[in-house]
Structure 1
Amino acid sequence: MTDFNIIRVARTVLNVKDLDRSRKFYVNALGFIETERTDEAIYLRGLEEHTHHSLVLKKSEQYGVHALGYKVGSNEDLDRLQALFQSKGLKTKWMEEGTQHALGRALHVHDISGMPLEFFCKMDAAERMLQRYDLYKGAKIQRIDHVNCSVPDVEKAFSFFVNELGFACSEYTAADQDRIWAAWLHRKQTVHDQAFMNGEGPCLHHIGYWLPDPMAIIHCCDVLASLGYAASIERGPGRHGLSNAFFLYLRDPDGYRIELYSGDYLTSDPDFKPIRWDLNDPRRQTFWGTKAPDSWFNETAPFLDIETGKPVGTAPPTLEQKKPEFII
């Protein structure tokens, strides 16, 4: 048991080159709500989100991800998390209230894999648009659901998040000798807040957003095609074996991967047993057996150092097999 309460993944902060170009994609095509815009950033949220934003797009020529933000229960939780990370010899940095727009006091850290994490408990409120059906458009984005990251040592990341941060495992992928090749970990009571996969890293693989139903994903494909974004569809639509969710993977104008996601399951019971998948099971990544493109395994986004803002160094994966090999 931990002495702090991490509630859920709550926001991400990305650099983009052109705010107008990004707004057309995220607001006009995907249906995000634009809470606020400045000359330097756009703050976006989903229809059911009652807080100021879950996605920040910052204008910059430097491609990369500033933070994966987690909401915690109290300011005291932030202090306890700082003590934990410092006890492990990991880098920490305080961002006092008012330093980041619409956000309270926040703790920025680098985790055991080098990923930049952020913990906060306070964010400005915003109107919840869930029943403003007149504003539904595009994919009808509801809320942030999860992040998936490529790391060189999944077992090391798994151990830290489960044993030190109090996450639970819903499903995992096993490679040779039952080594953990990928894992789906959660704090909220669904399949995941944080996923890890074997690969060059640490890097962001994708951000997942929850949609109301599979038809919202199908409709979004039509909207994307009609607006000239058909080439942005990288994979899907389809159904995952892992998580059972219906999915669509997109690449935004800067190359970040976004997953539109709907229909996983409840993981609240304390006696829930993690589901094991074999890496080479063709139903694992797509229940219908369809392969993912090579880009899905080979292309990621860099993380940025919490102090310098420069890309975090990466390392090759510890497990040799980099992607599934299907034998039909």
Structure 2
Amino acid sequence: MGEAFNILRTHHVEYRVTDLEKAYRFYVEAVGFTVTDQDDRHLFLRGLEDRTHHNLVLTRADTPGVAHVGFRVASPEDLEALADYFVGLGLRTHWVDGEEPGIGRALRTVDPFGFPIEFFYQVDSVPWMLQQFDHYHGAEVMRLDHVNYITPHIQDAAAWYQTHLGFRLSEYTVSVDNGQDRIWGAWLHRKQTSHDVAISNGHGPRFHHASFIASSKDKILDVADRLAAMGYVDNMERGPGRHGTTNAFFLYLRDPDGNRIELFTGDYLLIDPDWQPIRWDLNHPQRQTFWGAPAPKRWFDEAMVAYDWSGRPQPTEAPTLPDRPAFLDD
């Protein structure tokens, strides 16, 4: 692993949406994001706890999906080290500077599994809204927490992010095949909470969701009421509930284009160097939801298209393992 660079955290994600007005009503008026800036093609959104320009970009496009994920590094020197490291790995990279409003010089690539990612250090500062309580509404969105990838190469992808980018494993889900663990899901972190990137098995590359911290469990319940009252009943896909993995309270939503986000709160800190990853059996009844309720089939079956840097949809591959647990077909 390249020890010369320091990736701090998952910083932002860009979603493609077909109607910015509908997206504004959903994300800002209903869910509770804060607007940093907007133009005729973009909405730049952040959370109340954010002190940087955005954690979610909504870009008007003909089709929905995910355009990229951005990771912040600790210094400009980390970008140079990453560029050299990626050359050694045989990854194609390119530099941009100021192409994404609020973000300075950035190194862009597509990881070996088809996900467009960028790394940057410089980002514009914005007013801190944490104590602007008169602006709090909806779920009181605080910050981006993590993203979730789907790939048919789950074991290789989990290993690659650990070996080459220095992510650490917090939890993982396995099935047992001839006495050997086969990974179905991995939760990986750089910041000291349960995860920055989750990787799941399935047809891919596809993008399952981006997850944003709500200020409290109560606010997730409140926003469910708010969404229902505003006509978004069908946009609530799963929850509210508590995960077995990560222990967090959650609510999964689909925006007007079908893009998926999660509202998330109450996971844990990982600050000890001897942390032992938590192993979950795929069939554990409390793995999906601590209260025992299974996820709906569409939560497993449906995901967002990943686009490359030129705006072309990435072709998907079938998984070597079944793309969802067999018990969903019972």
Question: Is contact 1:279–1:324 with CA below 8 Å preserved after alignment?
Answer: no
Q: Which residue identity lines up with residue 325 of structure 1 in the other structure?
A: F
Question: Is contact 1:85–1:111 with CA below 8 Å preserved after alignment?
Answer: no
Indicate the residue corresponding to 1:261 in structure 2.
264
Return the offset for 1:325.
2.3
Indicate the residue corresponding to 2:73 in structure 1.
72
Matches within 5 A, 1:218-257: 218-257=221-260
SS of the residue aligned with 2:327? Answer: coil
Return the offset for 1:37.
0.8
Distance 1:175 1:92, change over 3 A: same
Return the offset for 1:40.
1.1
Question: Is contact 2:239–2:252 with CA below 8 Å preserved after alignment?
Answer: yes
Matches within 5 A, 1:37-52: 37-52=38-53
Indicate the residue corresponding to 1:207 in structure 2.
210
In structure 2, C-alpha distance between the alignment counterparts of 1:84 and 1:202, rounded to whole Å: 23
Q: Are residues 1:287 and 2:290 paired?
A: yes
In structure 1, C-alpha distance between the alignment counterparts of 2:70 and 2:241, rounded to whole Å: 28
Q: How many residues align?
A: 326
Return the offset for 1:62.
3.0
- TM-score, normalization: structure 2? 0.96
Indicate the residue corresponding to 2:87 in structure 1.
86
1:51-89 CA distance string (max 9 Å, x none): 111000011103221111100011211121122222222
Q: Which residue identity lines up with residue 224 of structure 1 in the other structure?
A: L
SS of the residue aligned with 1:71? Answer: strand
1:95-147 CA distance string (max 9 Å, x none): 12x22211100111111211111111111111111111111101100000000
Indicate the residue corresponding to 2:319 in structure 1.
317
Return the offset for 1:14.
1.2
Indicate the residue corresponding to 1:12 in structure 2.
13
SS of the residue aligned with 2:51? Answer: coil
Return the offset for 1:324.
5.8
Matches within 5 A, 1:158-173: 158-173=158-173
Q: Which residue identity lines up with residue 289 of structure 1 in the other structure?
A: G
In structure 2, C-alpha distance between the alignment counterparts of 1:206 and 1:219, rounded to whole Å: 21
Return the offset for 1:321.
5.5
In structure 1, C-alpha distance between the alignment counterparts of 2:204 and 2:265, rounded to whole Å: 27
1:280-328 CA distance string (max 9 Å, x none): 111001011101011111111111112x2100111111212622628x9
Question: Is contact 1:199–1:317 with CA below 8 Å preserved after alignment?
Answer: yes
SS of the residue aligned with 1:285? Answer: coil
- Structure 1 segments (4+ residues) deviating >3 Å: none
- Consecutive unaligned residues of structure 2, counting only runs of 5 or more, are none
SS of the residue aligned with 1:14? Answer: strand
In structure 1, C-alpha distance between the alignment counterparts of 2:152 and 2:116, rounded to whole Å: 15
Question: Is contact 2:212–2:261 with CA below 8 Å preserved after alignment?
Answer: yes
Question: Is contact 2:203–2:323 with CA below 8 Å preserved after alignment?
Answer: no
In structure 1, C-alpha distance between the alignment counterparts of 2:326 and 2:34, rounded to whole Å: 37
Return the offset for 1:237.
0.4
RMSD across aligned positions (CA): 1.4
Indicate the residue corresponding to 2:123 in structure 1.
123
In structure 1, C-alpha distance between the alignment counterparts of 2:327 and 2:250, rounded to whole Å: 21
In structure 2, C-alpha distance between the alignment counterparts of 1:201 and 1:295, rounded to whole Å: 16
